[in-house]
Each structure stands twice: as structure tokens, then as C-alpha cells.
Structure 1
Amino acid sequence: MPSRRSGQAAKRRDPRIHEGPSGFTWHVELPERASAPMGARKPLARIVVSEGEGLQVPVAVARRLDAMDDVAWGSRAELLYHVGEVSDACCWEKLVDLVSRRDYSTSEMASRLVREGYSRARAEGRVEYACELKIMSDARFAEYFIRAKVAAGWGPVRIERELSRRGIEASEVAGWPEAFLEQDDVSERASELLARKAVPEKNAYAKFVRFLVSRGYPMAIAKEAALDRIHGDEGEC
């Protein structure tokens, strides 16, 4: 009985050879796998040409080029031009698809498109165009992000750190932090978080402080809230 691997190999079709009037030919070779570990760049497809060096392009671009009918490009230069046109279109479609699922900062989006196989210049160009159309906005993203994380109990330190990872400095966000968090509010939120947790039998103070700091609360507020929680619990006994 043939193995599953050999059966899969048998199903692979021969590449479609595209030939121009001058004898110039090209065909597409897709990678064996289209996925990649999270955060890694996806495998690229290869366009093999009869003149000069081949090209590496994102799989979506290669598939679209390969599916084109009635193409008669007579040179590598003509092919390169159309690769650029199709790459722009596919890159834009990927951006729109991603934005339709959730908000991205411009830095996040550019990095994501680069992982899809597009050049940094092309990715940043498509992101800039999306900003011109108001499809993307770092200011809008930052405001939504901050409000969501404040509601989730994050402290200001963690919010600033995570914004920075997404290419946005909190100091550049209009109204940060006063419009989103007041000092008394930060302290109250830290106390509320600890009020939901039982006091550990050992090292309660250190564990509470570590917990709050991990959630992004300043050390001074974490220490004060931890002491209040422990002493308050002792007073209730």
C-alpha cells in the first residue's frame, strides 16, 4: 500500500509553464508548507524564469500570478513589473483583512506584512496609504488599547510598556495618563485586585507586590496596597 506521503506527492501537479512570444518562460514553485511558527516569516514561493535569476515572492502573489490567463510577458523586466503590481494588490488586501479582524498599530501592521513575505518598503507604503484613508490611526489605536487595558485592570507601567512594544510612546498619546487614570484611581484599582485574592500563608507581602508589579502597577503603589490588604485582613480576624 502506498504511503500517505507518496500519495500526497502523486497529487502534486506539474508546474504551469507560462511562455511569452519571444520564448521567455516562467513558472511558480510553491513551498512545501505555507505556515510558520508564530512571529516567524512565512515561507516564500519561487518564480523560476528562463532568463536571469528567479524571484522569491509571497505565496499569495505567486498563486495570483500563476492563475492569470492570457499573459504573454516577453521578458524578465515585464514579469518584474507585474510582480510589483500584484504584490501591491495582495499586500493591500492582506492589510484590509487583518484590520477587519482587530485594530493594529502601524508598527504592528508593517511587521505583520513583512512576516507575510512583503518587503519592508512595500509594507510601510501600504500602511501609510491606510492611514491616509483613515483605515488605520495610531492615535485611535492607542486610545482604544489604553481604555481596554485599564478596564482589564492593567497598571500604567504595563500599559506604557505594551504600547512601546507596538511602536507607540505613551508620552505622545494625548491626555496620557491624566485623561485615563488618576493617581487615586490607580491605587484603588490595585487594592481592588488584591481584595479578590486570598492572603497567602507564606510570603504574602512579596507575592502581592510581585503580582501588582507584573500587572503594571508602580512599586510604591504595589507596596502600599499589599500592606493595606494584609493589615486589613488581620484586622478582620
Structure 2
Amino acid sequence: MKRRNDDGSGKPRPSAYNKALGLLVRREHSRRELGRKLRQGGYDEVEADAALTQLGEQHYQDDERFAEVLIRSRIAQGYGPARLRAELKSHGLPDPRIRTWLEDVDADWEALAAAQLRRRYGASARPVDAAEGRRRAQFLLRRGFSAATVRRVTHADVDDAADDEA
């Protein structure tokens, strides 16, 4: 069902279902995100919920698929598990499922953190002092790596530098 837009353009406004489907064609969205976009677009809550339910039943919108795509994308961008957990939670996904998805992901967090350090600071760049080491650790923590992973990766740099000097 198409309605007139309230913006004065005179163009017919697509139904909430068609609007949400159009958003899903571009990229995966969580159910919460689609609902928010529909409400911001002026659709009433009943129509938006009906559209989201229908899209879910047709498997066009699936929070599980959304989470898998988001996790793969963020890992490829070099983000750690804490950052992924926070982002998934912001999309309204349940904590038990988030925990399961992150446990099931095949990622070597330590290697990923080390790769981010190399990308940012260079392959042979070693911290010259404690302040530089702290800056590197903070960089990895902001990207969502655990303190234990950061400690292992940054201390490996210090240990490697000590081996090079010997």
C-alpha cells in the first residue's frame, strides 16, 4: 500500500515492508536497526512491527545472519572481541547468543592484534620506551582486544627487542 508523503513532494510513500526490504537489499540489518529506521521514517509502530515480522518469516531479515556478517567484517577490519561484543549488543542481540557467536568464530585474536600493531607501527618498529609501549597497548585495547592478549602481544615486542640486542 502506498501513501502520500507528508514531506509535500507528492510522491507516494512505500509501505513499511517495502522500505525495510529496500534497506535489506543494500546490506544486512538487525531487527532493532530496521525498526529504528522505519520509525524515523515516520512509520507507525504497528505497521513497522508487522513488516519486520513478515520479513523475518520470509528469512529476508535474520539477526543470526546479520551477526555473522558483522563479525566477519569487523574481524577483517582488525577489531577484537570486546569491540564486536559491544557492537552486537548495541544492535539488540542477546548476550547468550553473542557469547556463542564469538566462541564459535575461528579467529586467532593474538595474531590479529599483532597484525594491527604491524599495520600501525611497521614491521620492525619496536617501542623505544615504556610510554610508547603504553600507547601501543592503548591502541589495541581501543580496538577491542583483551588485556591478556594485549599484554602477550606487546610483551612479545619487548622480548623480541631484547633478543635482537643480545
Instruction: State TM-score, norm by structure 1.
Output: 0.58
Residue 231 of structure 1 corresponds to 159
2:19 is paired with a residue whose SS is: helix
- Report percent identity of matched pairs: 25
Higher relative contact order (CA 8 A, sep 6+): 2
Change (3 A) 1:235 1:60: farther
Change (3 A) 1:216 1:103: same
Q: CA deviation at 1:235?
A: 3.2
Residue 139 of structure 2 corresponds to 211
Q: Which runs of 4+ in 1 moved over 6 A?
A: none
The CA distance in 1 between the partners of 2:52 and 2:30, in whole Å, is: 10
What code does the residue aligned with 2:26 have?
A: R
- Which ranges in structure 1 are unaligned for 5 or more consecutive residues? 1-27, 31-44, 46-58, 65-86
1:154 is paired with a residue whose SS is: coil
Change (3 A) 1:136 1:229: same
Change (3 A) 1:235 1:214: same
Q: CA deviation at 1:178?
A: 2.9
Q: CA deviation at 1:188?
A: 2.0
Q: Is the 8 A contact 1:195 1:229 kept in 2?
A: no
The CA distance in 2 between the partners of 1:176 and 1:154, in whole Å, is: 15
Task: Specify which structure has the higher proportion of helix.
Answer: 2
Q: Is the 8 A contact 1:60 1:90 kept in 2?
A: no
- Which ranges in structure 2 are unaligned for 5 or more consecutive residues? none
The reply to whether residue 168 of structure 1 matches residue 128 of structure 2 is no
5 Å-filtered alignment, 1:184-223, equals: 185-196=108-119, 197=121, 198-199=125-126, 201=128, 203-223=131-151
What code does the residue aligned with 2:115 have?
A: E
The CA distance in 2 between the partners of 1:186 and 1:60, in whole Å, is: 52
The CA distance in 2 between the partners of 1:138 and 1:115, in whole Å, is: 20
Task: Tell me how large the CA RMSD over aligned residues is.
Answer: 2.6
Q: CA deviation at 1:181?
A: 3.8
Q: Is the 8 A contact 1:61 1:90 kept in 2?
A: no
5 Å-filtered alignment, 1:51-200, equals: 59=7, 63-64=11-12, 89-173=14-98, 175-181=100-106, 185-196=108-119, 197=121, 198-199=125-126
What code does the residue aligned with 1:193 have?
A: Q
Change (3 A) 1:159 1:174: closer
Q: Deviations over 1:64-107 (max 9, x none)?
A: 2xxxxxxxxxxxxxxxxxxxxxx7x5222211111111110000
Q: CA deviation at 1:60?
A: 8.7
Bigger Cα Rg = 1
Change (3 A) 1:120 1:61: farther
The CA distance in 1 between the partners of 2:33 and 2:22, in whole Å, is: 14
Instruction: State TM-score, norm by structure 2.
Output: 0.81
1:177 is paired with a residue whose SS is: helix
Change (3 A) 1:61 1:167: farther
Change (3 A) 1:211 1:103: same
2:145 is paired with a residue whose SS is: coil
The CA distance in 2 between the partners of 1:147 and 1:127, in whole Å, is: 24
The number of equivalent residue pairs is 157
